[in-house]
Chain A
Amino acid sequence: MMHPKFAVVGHPNKGKSSIVSALAMDDSVQISDTPGTTTKKRSFPLKVDGEILYELFDTPGFQRARRVLAWLEQHDVSADKKHEVVQLFINEHKDDPKFNDEVELLEPIMNGAGIIYVVDGSKPYGEEYEAEMEILRWTGQPSMALINHIDESDYSEEWKRALGHYFKMVRTFDPMNTSLEQHLSILESVAQLKEEWTASVKASIRLFEKYHEQMLDRSAAVISKVIYKSVSLVEKLTFYGEDATKDEKNRIEEKYKERLRALERSTQKSIESIWNHDHLQKEQQSFPLEGMDLFSEETASVFGLTRKELLVTAAASGAATGAGVDLLFGGATLLLGTGLGAVIGGVGAFFAFNELSEVKVLGQTLGKRYLEMGPMENRNFPYILLGRTVYHTTQVAKRSHAVRGVAEFHMDSIFKEKWLNDDLRKSLEKYHKKFRSGKEIEAEELAEYEVLIRDVLKYLI
């Protein structure tokens, strides 16, 4: 059985490409306010391992609808023959540049595609659309209308009244602010166009849900990896003098920071790629979050833990370690281990609030001296990086593929409160501590951390 096909058609500049871009999750589609940007039909198949489940066509807008309708109406035929006349029109005008756009848009329909007719509900209805709708009626293919809102005004009601005469289903869809639910709801409507298509489109809906899960999984994996790599990162710099100079110490610190920034940048690229936003333009490529550097105080205040939160987290973590000692001695220590652990953890975190990592001079006895920086000692850093990365991921994931132009990531000062609670902080700290320790992290442990991140993403996206 042939897979279902759907042609997105309509008047020029009514958002056909935006809708296709949003439904196909493809940010490479050319979208502009200049009419005639789309000159050729373009296929967007939904494929699973190469097998097509359905195919979406972006088409040019009607240019000479009245002329085409006049040509069709010259042929006085019964309703069951009307689609043949449309095919005849295509055959006769295939090489006629005058009807290039009409032939391009009618071809997929005559090849069995269902019709998704797009109008702009933010502008008033006009009689000139009737010729287009009449032509589509001549094709005899199942059809539905989508009301897109390019601007804020709302003329939906008059559009619905008019479209109701031509289409059995009229839906509203905003490609610029689409969510997975809206996306799937449009597919649900499309599934009802023809009985034979229902199973396939329903399978596509399930697949889209799976695809979304897949994107969440992959994002969580990438984020977990970058946190682990960044926190456990060790940077080395060889020096030849008696002792390392201040300049050499500054150099290794800068090198260390730059490596961490590069890790963050490459993670952001991966995330954008996972969510099919490879063409995302950012205001500042190097500091994509409103120019906030990874090590700025501003970023720490937005994404990091407060001194108090950090103190509580570190104390709890230290207490847990101390409790292990108490347990070892069967409680004979009168919980001294727990108390001491909490104090050591808390004091350490309090005084090292702004410190990244100590610069160590190593290899002195062996004659080959080098400076070493890392793993990250700053307990706040993983939360800052995690906050930034999660924030970036949610922004990218929620961005519609129809939106063009420079992506602006507006800071959300209460973002941290949305996802980081005390329980999660404790759970995360357990892994951050391991990352800092320099111990090799096993795949299972990283997978457990990944589950925590995935849950956060699922909640936020």
Chain B
Amino acid sequence: MNLKSYLDLFELLGTDTSSREERRAFGLVNVVTKNKPLEQLSAWVYENKTKLKKPALSETFSSTLYSMTLLISVIALLFGFLSGVGLLSYNGHEPVNVIYFIAMVVFLPLFTMTLTLFSMFRANVTQSMLVHISPAFWMEKILGLLPNKIEDNLKEVKINPLLANWIVIKRSQIIALAFSFGLLLALLGVVATKDIAFAWSTTLSITPEAFHHFLHTLAFPWRDLYPSALPSIELIEQSQYFRLGDKLSDEMIQNASKLGEWWKFLAFATLFYAIVLRFTMYVLSEFGFKKAIQRSCLSLDGAERLLRDMNEPIISTYANENEQQFIQRHTAYDQMINALDASYDVIQGWAIAKENLSVIADSMKVISPKFFEVGGGNTLDEDMEIIYHSRGEVLLYVKSWEPPTMDFIDYLEALVKRVDKVLVCPVGTLEDKYETEAKEVNVWARKLSMFGSAKVWLKV
């Protein structure tokens, strides 16, 4: 994962419309990347890259960032070079005080690198002051001054603050490196083209021995490899100069050829403190930047969902096709009565045993000479036989809780051809004292309304 793929992922997640099935299919095809979220995301970006609008946001952002970095690095290089030339400017009257240059190539880099280390530790804080004071941070501000079209394009980019901080830290190291190279170039250039008398001078009472000890410490990385790049105590003694007049001391003039030897120390100090250490910081920042990209990719809105969709099997239990919508017809049934007569020619019970029929009839104070169980356990022929013996008005008890089936309708159809009137009377269970529920009776009313016979009545 790099910055470009992070931005591509950011853009793709914002516009992606793929279904869970498509994502899962991708996960199954790229099964080797399972449990490696970054590789999975990277593969997904690669697969979907063609869906990005042209020019891709990542291209615009990266090229703008690259151009800006290059421009500022060139400026830093020039600035470093000019600073170096300025620090080493020698007019032939006054020696060049190496302490200025040492401060520039040793102490300034050490100070800024310490700040960089702090900012690395605090990189996950959105409003990190240390990051904000970095010169690279102001690159972002400069981006805002670019022509409107580019700016509008970049406004869409919402970079994770952690990553944004690391971008600034990394770019700062590049700029500092360029500046340091400028200093080294200046040193080498000036040394090659001029005969400079280096010296050292300070208001503090520092003895040459102490100064040598200090330089010896500073030169620890190269003093054993290149002993000549560490000024000897004699050279330090000879090159100490006091600002007591406007002329060089006689001793210095006598040892003029030796004073130039300082350049080796300055070159190695620049190389080690300003360039090698800075490069180490750059490598560290590159490492942190890469880690930040990885973490930021996983924190992107939608990334976690995408990974879940890729890795979790799709379990579905629902129907394949939509159900045909059932439309209930609410037809009012107007052949309803509220009370039963005292007697009927025949009493029948649909799936109600004969012995239960007489109990129900008694409880409702209804009498009849004939009781028959129909439906239920009867055969169709037995039902036909009963219909054959039926006449006049028939009271047909039905179980209110059992919805009318087409078997019942077939029977009713045959019965009404034979008799004058059928009164369908739903009854509840014995435990409910044959009381019915309104919703159960409504089911019967709806069915009878569909049956549509003038001879059929319903007791409610």
Binding site for B on A (CB under 8 A): 11-13, 23-26, 28-30, 32-40, 42-50, 61-67, 70, 98, 101, 120, 123-124, 126-128, 130, 153, 207, 210-211, 214, 217-218, 221, 276, 438-444, 446
Which B residues between 320 and 362 are near A, CB-CB below 8 angstroms? Answer: 320-326, 328, 351, 353
Q: Chain A: which residue is nearest B326 at the CB level?
A: A37
Chain A nearest CB from B11 CB (Å) reads: 19
B206 at the interface (CB under 8 A from A): no
A40-B324, A126-B376, A210-B315 given; A442·B24 CB < 8 A:
no
How far, in Å, is B430 (CB) from chain A's closest CB? 8
Q: Is B91 interfacial (CB 8 A cutoff)?
A: no
Question: Contacts A63-B405, A130-B377 hold; do A440 and B351 have CB atoms under 8 A apart?
Answer: no
Contacts of B439 in A (CB 8 A): 33
CB pair A440 B319 closer than 8 Å: no
A49's partner among B24, B125, B308, B317 (CB-CB below 8 A) is: B24
Q: What class of interface size applies to chain B in its complex with A?
A: 35 or more
* Cross-chain contact B320 with A64 (CB below 8 angstroms): no
Q: Tell whether, in the assembled complex, residue A128 and residue B318 are in contact, meaning their CB atoms are under 8 Å apart.
A: no
**Across the interface, do A441 and B318 meet the contact criterion of CB distance under 8 Å?**
no
Which residues does chain B contribute within 8 Å of A218, judged by CB atoms?
308
Least CB distance, A112 to chain B, in whole angstroms: 18
B414 CB-CB contact with A under 8 Å: no
Q: Is A28 a contact of B323 with CB atoms below 8 Å?
A: yes
Give every chain A residue within 8 A of B299 (Cβ-Cβ). 440-443, 446
Task: Pick the residue among B320, B378, B443 that contacts A33 (CB under 8 A).
Answer: B443
Q: Which of A47, A130, A214, A443 has the most CB of B within 10 A?
A: A443
Nearest opposing residue in chain A for B407, CB measure: A64
B402 interface residue (CB < 8 Å to A): yes
A29, B326: Cβ atoms closer than 8 Å: no
Give Cα A101–Cα B403 distance, bound, in whole angstroms.
Answer: 15
Given contacts A47-B316, A443-B299, contact A128 B375 (CB under 8 A): yes
**Known contacts A63-B407, A439-B126, A443-B304: does B376 contact A25 (CB below 8 Å)?**
no
Given contacts A26-B318, A65-B405, A443-B298, 13 further A-B contacts (CB under 8 A): A11-B405, A25-B317, A34-B326, A35-B443, A35-B447, A40-B323, A42-B323, A66-B379, A123-B429, A221-B305, A221-B308, A276-B318, A443-B299
B131 to chain A, nearest CB (A): 13
Q: Is the CB of A67 within 8 A of B308?
A: no
With CB as the reference atom, state the residue of chain B lying closest to A26.
B318
Given A207-B315, A439-B125, A440-B162, are A128 and B376 neighbors across the interface (CB < 8 Å)? yes
Q: For residue A124, which residues in chain B have a CB less than 8 angstroms away from its CB? A: 429
How long is the Cα–Cα vector from A239 to B424 in the complex, in angstroms?
76
When distances are taken between beta carbons in the complex, the residues of chain B under 8 Å from A443 are 295, 298-299, 303-304
Residues of A within 8 A of B315 (CB): 46-48, 207, 210-211, 214
- State in angstroms the CA–CA spacing of A30 and B328 once bound together: 12
* B24 adjacent to A44 (CB under 8 Å): no
Q: Which residue of A lies closest to B378 (CB)?
A: A66
Contact, CB under 8 Å: A44 / B125: no
Whether the Cβ atoms of A11 and B402 lie closer than 8 Å is yes
User: CB distance A440 to B429 under 8 Å?
Assistant: no
- Known interface pairs A13-B403, A49-B313; A32-B319 also in contact (CB < 8 Å): no
Chain B interface residues (CB < 8 Å from chain A)? 24, 28, 124-127, 160-162, 295, 298-299, 303-305, 308, 312-326, 328, 351, 353, 375-380, 399, 401-407, 410, 429, 431, 439, 443, 446-447
Q: How far is the CB of B438 from chain A (nearest CB, A)?
A: 11
Known: A46-B317, A443-B295. A64 touches B376 (CB 8 A): no
- Looking at B295, B318, B320, the one whose CB has the most chain A CB atoms below 10 A away is B318
Q: Are A440 and B160 in contact, CB atoms less than 8 angstroms apart? A: yes
Whether A64 contacts B295 by the Cβ 8 Å rule is no
Q: Which residues of B contact A61 (CB under 8 A)?
A: 405
Q: Which residue of chain A lies nearest to B383 when distances are taken between CB atoms in the complex? A: A66
Q: Is the CB of A30 within 8 A of B401?
A: no
- Could you say which residues of chain B place their CB within 8 Å of the CB of A33? 439, 443
Q: Chain B's nearest CB lies how many Å from the CB of A68?
A: 10
Q: How far is the CA of A23 from the CA of B126 in the complex (A)?
A: 49
Give min CB distance, A182 to chain B, whole Å.
16
Nearest Cβ distance between residue B162 and chain A, in whole angstroms? 5
Shortest beta-carbon distance from A267 to chain B in Å: 13
Q: Is the CB of A29 within 8 A of B124?
A: no
Task: Report how far A154 CA is from B325 CA in the complex, Å.
Answer: 33
Of the A-B pairs whose beta carbons lie under 8 Å apart in the complex, a sample of 22, sorted by A's number, is: A12-B405, A25-B317, A29-B319, A32-B326, A32-B328, A35-B405, A37-B326, A45-B317, A45-B320, A49-B313, A66-B375, A66-B379, A66-B407, A130-B377, A153-B431, A214-B315, A276-B318, A438-B127, A439-B124, A442-B295, A442-B298, A443-B298
Residue in chain A with minimal CB distance to B298:
A443
Distance in Å from the Cβ of A222 to the closest Cβ of chain B? 9
